Amino acid sequence: MRIALIGRFEEGEIVAGPERVTRELFAELKRKNFQTIFIEYFFSGYKNSSIFKKLFGKEALNNNSIIRLGIFPLISFLIKEKYEIIHIVNLQRFILFLFLVRPFIKSHYIATLHGFLKYEIPSKNYLMKRYFLDLWVEKLVVKKCELLIFPSKLLFETFNKRNKISEGRYRIIPNGVSEIFKFQNTNFPSIENSLRIVFYNGSGDEINKGLDELSVLLKKAKCKIELFVLGRKGEVVSSDNTEIIYRGLKSHQEMIGFLKDKHFVIKSGVFDTFSIFVAECMSLGLVPIVNQNVGINEFIRHNVNGFIFNHSSSTDLPDLLNEIFGGKYDLKLISANAKKIYEVVNWNRISERYYESFERLIK
């Protein structure tokens, strides 16, 4: 089977969630010797991007396993090479051209959907940033692809309410955790004066992660909290019980060292399709505190391997934090159970599920 993964690979070591999934899946398929190539585009912001390159450019990377193509070479390449599977691994605007020439490309189209743009695209600068193109791409992918892959039941159900996706045309495959997070010999640190909580706030302001709303709830708790925010800074300020400490984004190795003395990883009430970051933190023994509006809650059982709070309540989270600080729960046991998520969502297992999906489609 010949597989072409298409999307954004991204330059640099630290990348956003969809690109991390892309890199891990590609690396795992290559490691298992599947005939896989990655195709991306000369995106604006890349070092050698230009109008000419976007139309006619061609560049081979990583011993020809990754190729960067302009629009016309991309179309010509896919028609000529006749890949059995074209897998759109993250949604990008240049994907539009794949559907315009769909009748000439005799391949099975698959797409992984990482989010639902209706909830993610800000209304401001809608026309200036041409977000309508992103919505068009998403609509075409949902309508035209033979198989859609969702990282959680939550995201599938969100799409299904609007699109009525037929049985057999979708699969739910969670995002994976990198092997570097496997068997880290970490013990749950004792809680002394404060709860040390980590929150991922992303790298840009396109998607609201809910930091401001979360800080309001934390201030209602009666215990002392240190909230470590990875990513961009917000406008929240520290209060009597909550100290907010900003840190930049980190590589995997840097993050493992940074998280050694932290207790919890938390999500706000904002819609989130899965959260690789939470799964990685759990693999290291941090106890997750999430809500029903986060896809990864499908892997969390309250007071077993984490905690689930009601995001619609203004008191549920503060009360839970007070109980935790007061010693109500066996946090060492919950932490040990949280680590077991790696056994379920490691990339070896997740890539097998992707490949099984490919095989079912071409039979």
According to the per-residue pLDDT averaged within each range, which of 116-125, 200-209, 277-286 is highest?
277-286
Please report, rounded to a whole number, the percentage of residues in the chain having pLDDT higher than 70.
94
Do the beta carbons of residue 54 and residue 71 sit within 8 Å? yes
For tokens 């939550």, what's the residue?
154
pLDDT value at 127 more than 70: no
pLDDT value at 18 more than 60: yes
For tokens 């998403």, what's the residue?
138
* Other beta carbons within 10 Å of 198: 23
Provide the 3-class DSSP secondary structure of residue 66.
strand
List, as one string, the DSSP characters of 166-208: PTTSEEE-PPPB-GGGTT----PPPPSSSEEEEEE--SSSSS-
Provide the 3-class DSSP secondary structure of residue 163.
helix
* Residue of higher predicted confidence among 64 and 219: 219
User: What does the pLDDT average to over 121-148?
Assistant: 80
pLDDT value at 340 more than 80: yes
Which pLDDT score, from 0 to 100, does residue 289 have?
98
Provide the 3-class DSSP secondary structure of residue 123.
coil
**Strand pairing partners for 289?**
266, 307
Give dist(CA 256, CA 292) in Å, integer: 27
pLDDT tier for residue 232 given thresholds of 50, 70 and 90: confident
Q: Are strands 307-309 and 242-247 parallel, antiparallel or unpaired?
A: unpaired
For tokens 């690109």, what's the residue?
19
pLDDT value at 124 more than 70: no
Structure tokens at 325: 């600080």
User: What does the pLDDT average to over 231-256?
Assistant: 84
Helices (H), the chain: 17-31, 51-56, 71-81, 96-100, 117-120, 131-144, 153-163, 211-218, 252-258, 276-283, 316-325, 331-339, 341-345, 347-362
Give dist(CA 140, CA 335) in Å, integer: 42
2-176+346-362: CATH, from 3.40.50.10860, 3.40.50.2000, 2.40.37.10, 1.20.1740.10: 3.40.50.2000
By CB atoms closer than 10 A (0-12, 13-18, 19+), residue 172 is middle
Domain with CATH 3.40.50.2000 in the chain: 2-176+346-362, 179-344
Which helix H or strand E contains 266, and what residues bound it? Answer: strand 264-266
Please report, rounded to a whole number, the percentage of residues in the chain having pLDDT higher than 90.
70
Which helix H or strand E contains 40, and what residues bound it? Answer: strand 35-40
User: What does the pLDDT average to over 127-136?
Assistant: 76
User: What does the pLDDT average to over 70-94?
Assistant: 95
pLDDT value at 234 more than 80: no
User: What does the pLDDT average to over 120-128?
Assistant: 59
pLDDT value at 279 more than 70: yes
pLDDT value at 235 more than 70: no
* Summary mean pLDDT of the chain: 91
pLDDT tier for residue 15 given thresholds of 50, 70 and 90: confident
Q: Nearest 5°: phi and psi at 137?
A: -60, -50
pLDDT tier for residue 265 given thresholds of 50, 70 and 90: very high
Q: Which residues contact 36 (CB under 8 A, 6 or more apart)?
A: 3, 4, 5, 26, 29, 30, 65
pLDDT tens across 2-13, in order?
999 999 998 777
pLDDT value at 341 more than 90: yes
pLDDT value at 198 more than 80: yes
Which pLDDT score, from 0 to 100, does residue 114 have?
93
By CB atoms closer than 10 A (0-12, 13-18, 19+), residue 247 is middle
pLDDT tens across 291-316, in order?
999 999 999 999 999 999 998 999 99
pLDDT value at 175 more than 70: yes
Which pLDDT score, from 0 to 100, does residue 236 have?
63
Give dist(CA 72, CA 78) in Å, integer: 10
179-344: CATH, from 3.90.105.10, 3.40.50.2000, 2.40.50.100, 3.40.50.2300: 3.40.50.2000
User: What does the pLDDT average to over 71-93?
Assistant: 95
User: What does the pLDDT average to over 223-251?
Assistant: 86
Which pLDDT score, from 0 to 100, does residue 129 have?
67
pLDDT value at 123 more than 80: no
pLDDT value at 120 more than 80: no
Which pLDDT score, from 0 to 100, does residue 126 have?
54
Range in 10-24, 76-90, 125-139, 336-350 with the lowest mean pLDDT: 125-139
